[in-house]
Amino acid sequence: MKVLVKIKVLTTVPGRIIKETQCLLAEPVPSSKAEPDESDARYFHVVIAGPQDSPEIFLLEEYPMVAPKVYFMTKIYHPNVEKLGRICLDILKDNCSPVLHIHTVLLSIQAFLSAPNPDDPLANDVVEQWKTNEAQAIETARAGTGLYAMNNI
């Protein structure tokens, strides 16, 4: 009988990621929790409060020269987050810099959740409601948070 075994080979984790992880554990971002995955120190499980949703962060081998990959794993109603969880945030695209740390990314995501940018949308259906009836869009987002995110905290 043959057994197929999948093996994931990890490269050594750069000192920068180790230091940032230690910093996150020693000084967590307020109302947030970021924990490295047990099997891959480049992959973080994240819970961010206010509004509450749960993104995950993955650090590419080129990090910090390349922005981390951040996706919402929880369904979120936001004009700058598309249905698969991709995020439209400048520091994860054009304004990425080695000066930024994971701590900064988490703070930026918290601010981003509370201040959508309808002029740079990823979710066209959501942005239409945001532009025509912002109060109703906020209520829809709250209802979605209660339905999809509150049980994950």
Pair 134, 77: CB distance under 8 Å? no
Helix (H, G, I), strand (E, B) or coil at 36: strand
6 phi and psi, to 5 degrees?
-95, 130
Note the residue count of the chain: 153
Q: Any idea which residues carry the catalytic annotation?
A: 88
User: What residue ranges in the chain does DSSP mark as E strands?
Assistant: 32-36, 43-48, 55-58, 69-72
